[in-house]
Amino acid sequence: MTRLETVHEIVGPWSLATSKRFWEGFTPGRLVSQTQAAGIHTAFLCDTDWQRVDAVITQDGPSVRIVVEGPGELDAATEQVRRLLSIDIDGRGWPDVAARDGVIADAQARLSGFRPCGFFSPYEAAVWSVLTQRLAVRQAAAIKRRLLQQLGDDGAFPSPATLRAESLDLPGRKAEYLHAIAEAALDGQLAGSRLRSLQPADAMAGVQSILGMGPFSAELVVIRGANFPDVLPRNESHLKDEIAKRYGGDRSIDQITEAWKPFRSWATVHLRALRELDK
C-alpha cells in the first residue's frame, strides 16, 4: 500500500462543499463517502489498472489537496479524481456564460461553485446505463446496490474482472451487456483518460461499438462518466423538457445552447440541479 499527496490550483470558480452536496444526492452514481468537516473521504477503482483507491479530497481556497492510497497507479488515480470533479478544466470562462444567459446566471448564483461530478468512471456510467434500460431508476438503483454489496471491494464498485466472471441474474439481456462492458473496460476502451483524449463524437462512437450501448448510453458515458465539459446531449427527453420550460419555444435548442459554449455539459447539469432544487 502506497500513498500520494498532491496539491493542485483550481482555475475558475469551484466549491467542494457545493459539489459534494449534489454528488451525494446523485442517485445513478451517488457518492459513497465518510463525510468529513474538511472534505470527502471515499473509495473507488482506478480505471487504468482497476485497483482500489482510498481518497481524501479537501479544498483550501483556490487549491485542492488530493491524497490517494492504494496498491496501483496513484498518479492515474489522482488524475481520475480531478477529472471526476471537473477540476482538471480551466473554468475561468464559466462566469461568461452567465453573462450571456440569464437562466444559467440564476443557476450559478444558486449553485455557487458547482461543477459536474457523478460517476467515478465511464465504466460505472456504462453499467448504470444498462441497469436503467426498461427499468425505473429506483429499481436500477436497488440492483446497483446489490452488486456493490455482493461483489464490491469495501465500498468500491465491482471490478470489470469480477463482473465479467460473475453469473448475473438480471432481467432481459442485461447480464450479457454488463459482461460486454466489463470486457471493454478490461481492454481499456472505457478509461476516462483515453476517452478524454478523443474528440467527443469519436468517444461516443467508440462507446456505441460496445454491445448494449446506444446513443443515450454513449452520451451518459461521455458526459457524466468521462466528464467532457462541452457536449450537448441529444437524446435526453428530460433535458429537452427542462429547456422548453425555462426558455420557451421561440428558439431551437441549438440556438439556446450556443451561448453555453464551451461549457454545454456544465450548463445541462446545472439545469438538472435546478430542477431538483425547485421540486
**Which pLDDT tens digit goes with each residue over 164-206?**
999 999 999 999 999 999 999 999 999 999 999 999 999 999 9
- Work out the pLDDT band at 92, boundaries 50, 70, 90: very high
* pLDDT score for 1: 85
Q: Which residue has the higher pLDDT, 8 or 118?
A: 8
- Domain that includes residue 56, residue range: 2-92
- Is residue 36 predicted with pLDDT exceeding 60? no
Residue 82 falls inside a structural domain: yes
- Is residue 34 predicted with pLDDT exceeding 60? no
- Is residue 46 predicted with pLDDT exceeding 90? yes
Domain CATH code at residue 18: 3.30.310
Q: What is the mean pLDDT of residues 264-275?
A: 93
pTM for this model (two decimals): 0.93
Distance CA 40, CA 89 (A): 20
* pLDDT score for 277: 82
* pLDDT score for 22: 85
Distance CA 223, CA 229 (A): 7
Residue 106 falls inside a structural domain: no
According to the 3-state scheme, what is the secondary structure of the chain? CEEEEEEEECCCCCCHHHHHHHHHCCHHHCCCECCECCEEEEEEECCCCCCEEEEEEEEECCEEEEEEEECCCHHHHHHHHHHHCCCCCCCCCHHHHHHHCHHHHHHHHHCCCCCCCCCCCHHHHHHHHHHCCCCCHHHHHHHHHHHHHHHCECCECCCHHHHHHCCCCCCCCHHHHHHHHHHHHHCCCCCHHHHHCCCHHHHHHHHHCCCCCCHHHHHHHHHHHCCCCCCCCCCCHHHHHHHHHHHCCCCCHHHHHHHHCCCHHHHHHHHHHHHHHCC
123-175 confidence digits (pLDDT tens):
999 999 999 998 998 999 999 999 999 999 888 999 999 999 999 999 999 99
Give percent of the chain with pLDDT exceeding 90. Answer: 82
Residue 20 falls inside a structural domain: yes
* Mean pLDDT value across the chain: 93
- Is residue 30 predicted with pLDDT exceeding 70? no
200-258 confidence digits (pLDDT tens):
999 999 999 999 999 999 999 999 999 999 999 999 888 889 999 999 988 999 999 99
Alpha carbon distance, N-terminus to C-terminus of the chain: 45
Any residues with CB less than 8 A from the CB of 113 and at least 6 apart, and which? 13, 14, 15, 16, 17, 18, 19
- Is residue 26 predicted with pLDDT exceeding 60? yes
Residue 65 falls inside a structural domain: yes
Residue 76 falls inside a structural domain: yes
- Work out the pLDDT band at 9, boundaries 50, 70, 90: very high
* pLDDT score for 249: 82
* pLDDT score for 276: 82
Burial annotation 200-226 (CB, 10 A radius, 16+ → b, else e):
beebbebbeebebbeebbbbbbbbbbb
Residue 49 falls inside a structural domain: yes
Number of domains, the chain:
1
* pLDDT score for 47: 97
Q: Tell me the backbone φ, ψ of residue 104, rounded to 5 degrees.
A: -70, -30
- Is residue 93 predicted with pLDDT exceeding 60? yes
- Work out the pLDDT band at 24, boundaries 50, 70, 90: confident
Beta carbons of 76 and 21 less than 8 angstroms apart: no
* pLDDT score for 275: 85
Residue 127 falls inside a structural domain: no
Residue 23 falls inside a structural domain: yes
